[in-house]
């Protein structure tokens, strides 16, 4: 037992001469270590091995060198690139966002505007991620560049039926998730005709559309107010 303890103590002395901070992780920058302290090994009459940094009778010199020193540089991690790569592998139909849809449009709904414009506003849950953008589509064609705003007004849209959808895209334009496509009808705002030269003050402006397959609507005419002479004839 004493022999075991003595051997362990000798190994601890041997290990203490090697600095613990000389080990790192980059093998490319290994430099030859300089010569350091000397260590002496001696075997006593009982066969026990002893180590010492001081020479003694019968001791054999052991030249000790420092372990190879390695210069380690901190790796640079581009987290945005990692996110982009992950998004490229994501299924566009996967549920990254819940409640993906339009706020102000419903399927088979009607949008009335006399300027040929349609405002699209989307709803997302959770809110739009920092690295994500929105692209809007009408009739399958993109109507905007990718943007962070959730509202976009499309102009010069023909009157009649159309489809609308949007996609959530990454910074590089890869699709993260697609919305469902809805159908809507863009119609004129119905207004009353106030032209005094029309010959009929009770005529109204029909709902003017550019597509023949959209039903025209006409407002009902107001009844004429009876005159004093006509009321006298009724009394007789």
In the 3-class helix/strand/coil scheme, how is 145-165 assigned residue by residue? CCECCCEEEECCCCCEEEEEE
Name which of 128, 126, 121 is nearest 103 in CA terms.
Answer: 121
Decide: helix, strand or coil at residue 78. Answer: coil
Please answer whether residues 103 and 123 qualify as being in contact, where contact means their C-beta atoms are separated by less than 8 angstroms: yes
pLDDT of residue 97: 87
- What was the pLDDT predicted at 52? 82
Q: What is the CA radius of gyration of the chain?
A: 44
Given this model, what pLDDT does residue 203 score? Answer: 41
Q: So what's the pLDDT on residue 207? A: 44
pLDDT tens string 12-58: 555 554 554 544 445 555 565 555 567 888 888 888 888 888 888 87
Q: Which of 100, 108, 104 is nearest to 182 (CA)?
A: 108
Burial class (CB in 10 A: 0-12, 13-18, 19+), 229: exposed
- Strands lying side by side in the sheet with 60-65: 49-52, 35-43, 60-65
Q: Which residues pair with 98 in a beta bridge?
A: 125
In terms of DSSP bridges, do strands 49-52 and 35-43 run parallel, antiparallel, or are they unpaired?
antiparallel
Which parts of the chain register pLDDT below 70? Answer: 1-37, 64-65, 84-95, 191-225, 228, 230-236
Query: Which part of the chain is CATH 2.60.40.10?
Result: 87-236
How far is residue 185 from each of residues 31, 100, 108, 160, measured CA to CA in Å? 76, 21, 7, 5
In this prediction, residue 23 carries a pLDDT of 47
Q: Quick one: pLDDT at residue 134?
A: 95
CA-angle at 86, arms to 81 and 90, nearest 5°: 145
Q: How far apart are the C-alpha atoms of 103 and 126, rounded to whole Å?
A: 15
- Give the Cα separation of 179 and 164 in Å (integer): 9
Distance (Å, rounded) from C-alpha 61 to C-alpha 101? Answer: 82
Classify 87-236 by CATH class: mainly beta
- CA-to-CA dists, residue 15 to 68, 119, 168, angstroms: 15, 76, 60
- Of the CA atoms within 13 Å of residue 135, those in its CB half-sphere come to 19
């Amino acid at each position: 037992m004493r022999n075991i303890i003595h051997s362990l103590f000798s190994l601890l002395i041997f290990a203490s001469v090697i600095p613990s901070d000389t080990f790192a992780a980059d093998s490319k920058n290994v430099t030859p270590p300089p010569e350091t302290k000397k260590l002496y090994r001696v075997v006593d009459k009982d066969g026990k091995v002893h180590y010492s940094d001081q020479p003694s009778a019968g001791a054999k010199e052991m030249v000790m060198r420092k372990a190879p020193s390695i210069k380690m540089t901190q790796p640079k991690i581009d987290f945005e690139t990692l996110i982009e790569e992950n998004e490229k592998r994501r299924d566009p139909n996967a549920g990254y966002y819940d409640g993906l849809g339009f706020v102000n449009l419903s399927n088979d709904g009607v949008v009335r505007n006399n300027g040929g414009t349609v405002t699209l506003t989307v709803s997302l849950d959770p809110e739009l991620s920092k690295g994500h953008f929105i692209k809007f589509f009408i009739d399958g064609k993109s109507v905007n560049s990718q943007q962070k705003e959730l509202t976009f007004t499309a102009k010069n849209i023909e009157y009649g039926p159309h489809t609308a959808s949007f996609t959530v895209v990454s910074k590089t334009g890869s699709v993260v998730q697609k919305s469902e496509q809805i159908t809507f009808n863009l119609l004129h705002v119905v207004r009353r005709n106030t032209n005094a030269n029309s010959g009929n003050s009770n005529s109204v402006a029909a709902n003017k559309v550019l597509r023949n397959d959209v039903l025209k609507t006409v407002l009902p005419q107001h009844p004429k107010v009876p005159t004093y002479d006509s009321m006298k004839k009724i009394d007789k």
